[in-house]
Structure 1
């Protein structure tokens, strides 16, 4: 596990160097179609680098990446251990010249992340974790927030997730924030800079596998939006959204999402990007 974590850290440096060459440099852009969004030549070159470096070092591991073979290729399911990678998480931010994009890499064994790195090269932020080893930011241990009450919480969440139909148990008080990379949002919960994060939409494995381990190793509870454990490298490589927070706050937010009693009225105080 520690050797795999060192491998991910080394590979991330090379990925960041490639991304930096294309950042604010008019990288070529394509639309992937089918509502999948854009991809750039930077995404593809970072993906090629990571696949070459990681698979050469661990030829017995499976491979899953947003920018590689289609998910209908299920050879990865025959592997006990699989790399799950998002070459650039936050491609739209990258295209717009925003620095909040990330390289997200996880080693997943029997559906559970065991080593993970989320690297933001333009912000010089390296989040890392190993199962049972804790989580770090730039080599320094990090810990999730201990805030308990929703009305005291700084929550990373997109505005559509705050529509009333998603909160059958009542919408809690919270202060809303946003960051463009889903992996970064989860890692920020591990860092303790924010108290919770929520995404209602189904989340692809490559967006959340790495940061889910970082947040949980830092002490956060990380589940899908209905409170079930996250599982990775299945035929359908998605989970039903993500909810991450310290234990008491996670429970209170989950009450609102699942329809158990929570009667606070909506009072969403929004900061950050839409």
Structure 2
């Protein structure tokens, strides 16, 4: 296999040649990497405290280890719901603390790093910002885990080189997230590239997450793609869950109901067990 991760004075920091052992790190009591598969769940956007509490309680009972929720929402249309901002972050942090769940939320602007770092345990860089190099450089100076989503049309090499910006700044707590790439297929929101999961696990020591919700955009496809992601070697899953998806202010079509999420978790267990892994 052609080595795309070489530089003039050695191997890139993201490469498995530079570091042969898989990276693992803890987020509070949750270990990212290793034999367990971390499951992160919650609404696409933080809409209200009541909704967030209900969702967190139900996904926690079903086996989710972390809580996701967007406070700042990058939307294609400027007229779509943009999130609650700092108020949403405060709600997310409070509910996460009450449920003993680390929380993850998306950062869109480098000026908001201090704000996000105060409330979120993991900062997520969305697909639209994968090559926002000014943001990546600043996240490299932060002692806080970062999820780096693959860009909509990004190659694997571009994705890994984006992660290199963060590692080069001194932050090695990076999780790569495959969330589907844009293709000509109209039946799904994106095309989930599971071959990228297996390949990146060969090329890089960094843990790999899969987001089957954004990858498909179709509720009925989330569970089968989550099972396939574990089979491909994913270290974590991030799934959108909403008590009333038809009323969701963002991405309702791809959000599981709490009951659907519970069913998915039961379906994931034998897949993980067959591979000598377990859910967390």
**TM-score (structure 1 length as normaliser):** 0.26
| Higher relative contact order (Cα pairs below 8 Å, separated by 6+ residues) | 2
Which structure dedicates a bigger proportion of its chain to helix?
2
**TM-score (structure 2 length as normaliser):** 0.26
